[in-house]
Structures are given as structure tokens and as C-alpha cells.
Amino acid sequence: MSLEKVPSFLVNLFEAEMNGNDTHSYRFNSFLLDVAERQLFHDHKAVQLTPKAFDVLVYLVGHGGHLVEKDELMNACWPDSFVDEVNIPRTIHTLRRTLGEDDNGNKFIETVPTKGYRFVAKVNVAREQPEQKSTNGKQDISAVVENFAETVFHIPPSVTDEPVSKQRHPTRIILFTVGFLSAVFLIFLLSFNFQSASSVNPNDIKSIAVLPLKPLTAENRDSIYELGIADSLILKLSSAKNLIVRELSATRQYADIEQDAIAAGREQKVDYVLASNYQIADGKIRITSQLINVESGLVEDVFKVEQENSSIFSIQDAVAANIGGSLLKRLNREPNNHLAKRYTSNEEAYRLYLLGTTMADKRGRKNAEKAIEYFEQAVKLDPNYAPAYAGMANARTGMAFTGRDDAREQYLKAKSAIETALALDDNLAESHTYSGEIKWVCEWDFAGAEREHKRAIELNPNSSAAHRMYALYLSSMGRFDDAIAEIKTAVDLEPALALNHRIYGGTLVYARRYDEAIARLKQTLEMDPDFIEAYHWIIGAYEGKDDDDQAFEWFVKLEIKADEEADEIQAWKTVYARSGWRGVDERLFEQAKEAEKNGKPNYTQMANLSVDLVQPEQAIAYLEKAMGKRQWGTVFLNVTPHYDSLRLDPRFDDLVRRVGLK
């Protein structure tokens, strides 16, 4: 590696430092960027940045207020042409997440479409005299060499532990240092590549997340390339022994062009990330994939394939065979000849299926309705498309969960869809998962539900959804230890999914382990601050602890998150100040009755509020209605803390018996 390959602005900084010139730092907003010490501080606290992210920030801040084009930034911070241009938006994304927003809610780094980036905050340069670290008044060069090695080559400081002779000419020292470290790095690289095939023990369990593909340019993005090719790679890798592969449902969220691959890998708690980009030009599609070691942050290998841009399925097969096969060999896993099981030969049906699963994963009634539209269009194009029927069932059970009056109707439609899916393919794991849910919630066939959940896990033990749904079933049966074991498995398989953590917290509430539940639910909200359900469960946990003040504090947070008007929030505070938690329950009950009049009854909620208001007969009447509508809460009669005061009532005992829980 020549001196020209080293970021020139870093070389200049080293020369200035070694010549005894003033070093400097940058101040912007409440940040201090100490260039000499390679540290970023926020309100006097150190902020962790990767070496490359630090380089980019220094360059942008040093050119504050001016456009820095992508090529300029690439040449300055990534002088080695081996690195792909996609590293720039990933690093910018990381910096934006780290820096946050200024006092006016603006980002510090502005994107200039198709051009580059501009650091927009006001920057002040603070100049300081360098520390005197040696007896002759000049800076100890070993510290510079060590910092240089760690920054440019990512070589641990131990490489430069040997004393370095002090020279009179700083430029010669830098040239010697660069040459020496280049040689060390070259030897390290050759040794690494030579041993790479055998360095991964095939008996060691490794994990990998395959991210959605990213276009080199944002124009003409297409989910069928970004999700479909990732899906085929996931299937190819999933059959390998001792390799845990995150499902597409876990990695779909990382489709943002500026997503930091290493950050995604850390969230997913995997050993490796496969980050890929694609470019369509001249009738061909070119795909480049980088195997990134999450712990070290290093790109360990690069795989490329070029294919005629004709059929998406032929592209998937080529990528799975070439990149997938090469990756398995690189990880010392036994290659296989599996290709994606399509279930359809209709590419448009496949596209609609991908869109449907994306919407279904987003939660909420409107998203579920849109998902059903996509699935219905898919099965019109291909009436034998089993996964689309299974997806439709999942979306309809999601709509039933919202507590509307049509829950029973949605379950019946879901049952019809799942029966079709199972008739088309009895070996589809998700079909058995959703079948188990229907047998459990709608049909109260608990033995049949457990058989279906176990069958789903048998077919796909790496399915987070299968373990999650089985955990819910076990929780409703009061088998809390088994339920916690299952939801822990779901969390391990999909650690970045807030829903898994919410269900974990809910299971702990049912088990009356309130403090643990609160901690888990707060963690859920750290992951997804907009997860409304988690607020409800935290409130319930504090109610279980008889801590009304904390319950109300979280109730107010919920109202704020739900964008309630300030006058409405003040009204709740007035009610609580005057009448305590009972006053809150009374007002909630009145609102629930209004919702019932408007055709949106939630009888389970009304039963819970009736218990709180010491109206047992009214509570049982609403539970009777909830049972008739097959609302979700009825299968949890035996474990819901709200009903503890009803357990000696013969009428409640009769409800439990009729559901089949006794």
C-alpha cells in the first residue's frame, strides 16, 4: 500500500502533530470532536464510534457548510478501491443515529440528492498546544504509530509495541511507518486468506443474518429483488448444519438504503452479516455480497454474480447456487443443492406475496387489511399458492386480535384459508402455526392446538413465530415455565423483534412476576417506543403490584404517545387527583361503552374494568359476550390476574368449564 492510499487528511494531521504544531478540536452543538485523541464527546461524555465513522465525521466537520461529494468522501476515507461505495450511506446512517438531532430537531448531516453530503451545524475550531510527552519536547512517536495502525489498518496496538527510533524528519518517519505497517498488514492478510477456509470449525455453531439487497442507486427500487433474492439465500443457508440463519421476517426491517450492516448484526446478535447490493444495467443484474464479521467489523470475503435480468426465479437460483454455495464453503459448512421452493411459477403472485408479508408484519388493523388485499390478489393469479393462503390466515387472525366485533368472522375466514393452505402443502410450518392459533382461540380445541404448534416447530425449529405462538398457548394453560422457555427461544431466534419481548413481558405478568415483567416491557419500549401494547401491559403490571401512582404515570405516557390533546390529558390528571385510580377506571368504562355503541366493542376490556369497579355480575356478563365473539382474552380466563377476585364465584367457574379450560 502506497502513501497515496492512506487518507491524506489523516497524514496531514500526523505531520502537524509530529512537527509540534498546534493540534485542534471541533466544537458543534454540545459535541467536542477531539481529532488528535480520536474521540467524540457529548456533554463531556465519550461517544463510541467505529474508526471509519470517526474518519468520515472528521472529514465532513472539517468541510462544514460545504458539499462533500461521494467520490471525494470515498477517496478521502476509503482510499482502498476494494471497498464498495455502499459503505458511505451506511456510515452516514450510523453517524446520524449517533449524533441525533440539534435543539431545533434538525439532523447534523444533510444529504444532497445524487451528489453527496453536507455537515450543516455551526462548527468552531478549538486550538490547543499538544502535550509534551518526551524529554526533548517532542511528541512520543510510538503513540502516533499505534494510533495510526489502529485507525487505518484496524491492527491491534500490540503490532506496534516495539520501540520506534526517533527520526529528525517526520515525513521519513511516516513513510517508514506506512511501509512497515503495510508489510505487516500484507502478511496478516495473506495468512488470513490462506487459513480462511479452515479457520471456521464446522462443529462450531455460527449465526448469520442475510440483509435485504440494496440498490446502488435509489431509483427504481424493487422489493422482488431486495427481498426475494435475500429469501432464496436464506433458504439455501438454512439447511446447513450448525448454521443459524435469521428468517426474512427478522431481517426485512433492514431494507433502508442507509442501514448500517454491522449495527443490524449487533441487533440480531449474530456472528456474521451478509450485506449485498445490486445494479441493473445493460440487460444484466450484478450482485455483490460482503460477508462481514460483526465482532471485528471486517469484511471477510466478497462474492459476486452477474446474471441476465430475465426471470426473477432464474436470478434467485443463480444467486443461491453461486453466492450461497460459496458462502457455505467459506464458513466451512457442507454445501447443499437446495433451491428455493417457490410454491408458485407466477412472478407477480410472488411479488404480491412479499408485499403481503411485509404489511402483515407491521401490526395494526389497517396494515392487516392491506396485507389481505395483496394475498387475495396473489391467489387469484395462482390458486395453488399455499404460502399466500397461510399469510392471509395470519393477517385475519391479526385483525381478530384487535378486539372488534368481527373477531369470530375473521377467525372463520382465517380457518378457511388455512385449510386450503394445508390441503395444498401439509409440510408448510407457518400453516400449522396459524392452524394452532385458530384451534386454540376460536375452536377451543386445546389438545389439537398443541399438536399443531408442535408440528410447526418440528417442521421449522428456527421459526420465531412458531415458538412465539406456542409460548402464548402454554401461557394460557398456566404452564409458565414451558411458556418462558419457548418465548426465550423465540427471542434468541429474532432478538430485535419487539413483539417477542412484549410477549415475554406478558407471560411474566400472567405468572405474577411483576417486577421482571416491568423490566422486560421497558426493554420492549426501548426497542420500539411506539409499541402501544407494551404500555398497556406495564400499566397492568403496576396494577398487579397495587402501585396506582406508577400505573397512572404510565397511563399518562400512553395518552401522550397516542397523541391525545393536552386538555384531554389534563382531564385525566384531574380525575386521578380527585378520585384516584377508580376514577380513571370509571372514565375508561364510559369510553368503552361509547365504543360499543359505535360497533367497536372490547368485551374483555369491559370485563376487566368491571372487576376493578367491583361489579362482578357485570364482569361475568361481559365475559359471556367476549366468549360469544371469541375475543382473544377468553382463552386466558384461568391466568389473567384481573379475574383472581372472581375465582370462587360459581358463575365464573362455569365460564371456565364451558371454554374447556377445566
Confidence check: pLDDT of 152 > 50: no
Confidence check: pLDDT of 640 > 90: yes
Confidence check: pLDDT of 59 > 80: yes
Confidence check: pLDDT of 81 > 60: no
Specify whether the CB–CB gap between 123 and 28 falls below 8 A.
yes
C-alpha cell belonging to residue 224:
422482488
The pLDDT of residue 181: 53
The pLDDT of residue 159: 38
CA distance 388 to 356: 8
Could you tell me whether strands 272-281 and 206-210 are parallel, antiparallel, or unpaired per DSSP bridges?
A: parallel
Question: 187 or 613: which carries more pLDDT confidence?
Answer: 613
Closest by CA position to 469, among listed 440, 448, 511:
440
Owner of C-alpha cell 472528521:
58
CA distance 558 to 540: 13
Q: Mean pLDDT across the stretch 166-185? A: 49
The pLDDT of residue 95: 87
CA distance 348 to 330: 34
Q: Mean pLDDT across the stretch 254-265? A: 88
- Reported confidence tier of residue 86, pLDDT bands at 50, 70, 90: low
Closest by CA position to 229, among listed 121, 305, 124, 133:
305
Confidence check: pLDDT of 223 > 60: yes
The pLDDT of residue 6: 42
Q: Mean pLDDT across the stretch 238-260? A: 87
Could you tell me whether strands 243-245 and 299-308 are parallel, antiparallel, or unpaired per DSSP bridges?
A: unpaired
Neighbours of 134 (CB within 10 A): 12
Share of the chain above pLDDT 70, in %: 81
Q: Mean pLDDT across the stretch 291-303? A: 91
Average pLDDT, the chain: 82
The pLDDT of residue 80: 52
Confidence check: pLDDT of 292 > 60: yes
Question: 372 or 6: which carries more pLDDT confidence?
Answer: 372
The pLDDT of residue 437: 93
Confidence check: pLDDT of 296 > 70: yes
The pLDDT of residue 341: 66
List, in order, residues 6 or more apart from 233 with CB less than 8 Å away: 210, 274, 319, 320, 323, 324, 327
Confidence check: pLDDT of 374 > 80: yes
Task: Write the pLDDT tens digit of every residue in 395-448.
Answer: 998 887 765 556 778 888 999 999 999 999 999 999 999 999 999 998 999 999
- Reported confidence tier of residue 191, pLDDT bands at 50, 70, 90: very low
Task: Write the pLDDT tens digit of every residue in 531-576.
Answer: 999 999 999 999 999 999 999 999 999 999 888 889 999 999 999 9
Confidence check: pLDDT of 660 > 50: yes
The pLDDT of residue 205: 87
The pLDDT of residue 440: 95
- Reported confidence tier of residue 174, pLDDT bands at 50, 70, 90: low
Q: Residue 300: what are its φ and ψ, rounded to 5°?
A: -85, -25
Range among 41-50, 187-196, 524-533 with highest mean pLDDT value? 524-533
Task: Write the pLDDT tens digit of every residue in 340-362.
Answer: 567 888 989 999 999 999 888 87
C-alpha cell belonging to residue 157:
496496538
Question: 641 or 129: which carries more pLDDT confidence?
Answer: 641
